[in-house]
Structure 1
């Protein structure tokens, strides 16, 4: 069976063709989308979970490659007093729930796709991300193959997987090759026979193309959870049936800037003043901003490692001694001790979503301090995301400059584009050009699914 597989920064989805129409397969009891998160009671237990669930034919080779991790996993299971078959690794909303129940005890990663092209990863870090992605793909594949997902139970063998134009703003093609290598190996270990890749904005555009009755030049703007990608594409009846579309793709741009960055920026602007950002020391100097940034920079490996370290805790404790408002910095210390950074960013994400339909939202931060709330207005949100939204504008201009054409239409998709603040920015750039808003979450999956039929059929 051939599928389109959107392994997204915010959500994952799988699509199949049925009766010439794209059908998204349920990945949970109540949704076609699975939140891109993983939680493990101990990070060493991820390799154990992968080994248990992967196809039997691949276990020996994997066990040889991960011998030390599997040995440490057995020790971790004993130390945690876990039963041999007791679940220790969770994916999707189960992972979110486990993290919220035990934020300080386990290993939690949100949007692992955002890290795949990171520069400077050590071999053990690459191996960890291979296992994280494999574990998620195993879970998703099993759910998609269940009778709940298909009319008749069957194996998924081939997939077209979406990828951003650039996985990272730095690192160039080397970063892209590293990320693709991780995804390809994970897919193999999850049981896929073969996979191919397609730029996500192109996939989103293909779904739109299926509705066109005349040829158009389309600027596809895909603002996702981890990346923004823009493509200028020739679309329409003259192009839709071609298997080689390389001549139709006139310009691309992409960068790791997306919904996660908006959430982080909003966390800094709206929440961190309640934790001491902007306050002063008794000597009149401002409190350093680095600990606050590290607390919420959940898509930055080095920042997260720094914030969780003992040195970071000691730094905050020293700041408390000399701060004019030590009670505020005590809240930052709690965030560090209890590892609440992800939860703060999750609160910002919920505010962002709520602001799609409201002028002002009250965020509940009582998990940091009793009765702590933060008021967030549309105006504050727009101010907070000024820098990332400017980068999105720059990517649109870059794609059009490379293509050297003026688009007939702008096709906007991606979950982050639901935000009125982002849509308004896009619309204001080219007010004379019509804008079509696609399925914010399903367009990419639909396009990947259509392309899978052409690549593998």
Structure 2
């Protein structure tokens, strides 16, 4: 008799992409969520023209087609932040951020149930090692908020597992011998690491606490690399680090808002526009600020952020990329080289590397004893970051997992183990 499908699902609610895993016989673990693909980009678009709500790739397509409305991305970044108890304006009404997250997680649940042909009342959610760095109270509040939202959309039993452990469980399913593995899970919002002993024999054990030698994480991920690349290589085209007539540098808050996914809409408020008018009036030069005025007036902040994100992807695969910025100025194009990308993100890379080094030192495990460095999460493909982490473990072999699916698949294993 073949085993029955699991009762529960595993949910990887990611900063950039989300997946749902469900263990069942002779079928892929990850459920297709959009257009046959297992990933659903963590994006919501409220179409003001047609008064409709769109999710995932559909949300991005609606926005890029030019419909009026509000695009929200990097929703997970709200958890643990002061913004979580606030709201944003949609269609002239205040939409609490809690309800925004509930709409997306509810959509994940309903799509997974439609594909599975059955309801899910139990789920194991992935969570970063730290939602919030160096603040246990805020970190606990972030998990409690996510649990409350999950229950709000219909889950009756909710539990959590660290995302790198989810990836470890997925990797372990393919092992034929014991390995000491450093799981490097670097997603859109966080970089998380787990040092864990894995083997086919250990996989059969229910209690794995002795196999987990240490965890570490920090709030640095792909969106931080986007922001650094934007600020260093793109925002100067809009006036960042320009000068006022007095000689002082132009205030930077507007540029930081536009370079950060979940704060882009703040650049369109009345106060932000009033601040910009003051800057424009007293700026030493205005050509770059004319581009910024066009960006704000046409609400092209998310469009620009998408161009920067694509540049990051291009520079992770090749040596150079060319941004076409005609929406800001006719014929405007800007070349960025991989060296520029590396320089812009150097401090982020070193922060991540320091976290890895501290984890290895804290566990007391000699670096030469680590067999494998397992990369997962979309941002783990950034070459300068991967090389710097690998330098901490020069004798370990580097393995690339399913960058977007390992965690969801591993959480499905954990869900079956916990709930049957």
**2:19 maps to what in 1?**
13
Give the TM-score taking structure 2 as reference length: 0.89
Deviations 1:265-287 (A, max 9, x none): 11111111211223333343333
**Which of the numbers 300, 308, 315 marks the counterpart of 2:275?**
315
What pairs with 1:203-282 in structure 2 (closer than 5 Å)?
Answer: 203-282=166-245
Cα drift, residue 206 of structure 1: 1.1
RMSD: 2.3
Contact 1:263 1:346 in 2 (8 A): no
Q: Is the 8 A contact 1:274 1:328 kept in 2?
A: yes
Q: Quick one: distance in 2 between partners of 1:395 and 1:127?
A: 37
1:76 aligns to what?
none
Q: Residue 187 of structure 1 aligns with which residue?
A: 150
Q: 1:248 to 1:34 in 2, by over 3 A?
A: same
Q: Map 1:391-410 onto structure 2 (within 5 A).
A: 391-406=351-366, 407-410=370-373
- 1:264 Cα offset (Å): 0.8
Q: Would you say 1:110 and 2:78 are equivalent positions?
A: no
Secondary structure of 2:330 counterpart: coil
Answering whether residue 102 of structure 2 is matched by residue 134 of structure 1, we say yes
CA distance in 2, matches of 1:408, 1:337: 54
Partner of 2:250: 287
Deviation string, structure 1 residues 231-282 (Cα, Å, up to 9, x no partner): 1112113421122222222211112110000011111111112112233333
Separation of aligned partners in 1, 2:380 and 2:281: 43
| Contact 2:127–2:163, Cα closer than 8 Å, also in 1 | yes
In structure 2, what is the Cα distance between the partners aligned to 1:366 and 1:210?
A: 49
Aligned residue in 1 for 2:322: 362
2:304 is matched with: 344
Closer, same or farther: CA 124–367 of 1 in aligned 2, 3 Å: closer
- Using the TM superposition, give the Cα deviation of residue 100 of structure 1 relative to its aligned residue in structure 2, in angstroms: 3.0
Cα shift readout 1:297-318 (whole Å, capped 9, x = no counterpart):
234x5x863x333232222223
Helix, strand or coil at the partner of 1:142: helix
Alignment TM-score, normalising by the size of structure 1: 0.83
Gapped runs of 5+ residues in structure 2? 1-6, 89-93
Please, which of 163, 167, 185 is the counterpart of residue 127 of structure 2?
A: 163
1:109–1:120 CA distance, 2 compared to 1 (3 A): closer
Which residue of structure 1 aligns with residue 111 of structure 2? 143
1:423-456 deviation per Cα after TM superposition (whole angstroms, max 9, x unaligned) = 2222223222222221111111111011111000
* Cα offset, 1:127, TM superposition: 8.3
Alpha-carbon distance, 1:7 to partner = 0.7
1:234–1:248 CA contact under 8 A, matched in 2: yes
1:369 to partner: Cα distance: 2.3
Instruction: Answer yes or no: is the 8 Å Cα contact 1:409–1:433 preserved in 2.
Output: yes
Structure 1 residue runs of 5 or longer lacking an equivalent are 43-79, 81-85
Q: Does the Cα contact within 8 Å between 1:281 and 1:322 map onto a contact in 2?
A: yes
- 1:123 positional shift: 6.4
3-state SS of the aligned residue for 1:27? coil
Query: What is the 5 A alignment of 1:411-430?
Result: 411-430=374-393
Q: How far apart in 2 are the matches of 1:240 and 1:271?
A: 47
Q: Distance in 2 between the 1:208 and 1:201 partners? A: 10
User: Bigger shift: 181-190 or 435-444?
Assistant: 181-190
Residue aligning to 1:38: 44
CA contact (8 A) 1:221 1:229 kept: yes
Cα distance in 1 for partners of 2:139, 2:249 equals 39
Supply the distance in 2 between the matched residues of 1:118 and 1:6 (Cα, whole angstroms).
20
Equivalents in 2 of 1:345, 1:98: separation in Å?
A: 16
Select 2:33's aligned residue among 16, 27, 35.
Answer: 27
User: How many aligned positions are there?
Assistant: 406
SS at match of 1:167: coil
Secondary structure at the aligned position of 1:184 is classed as helix
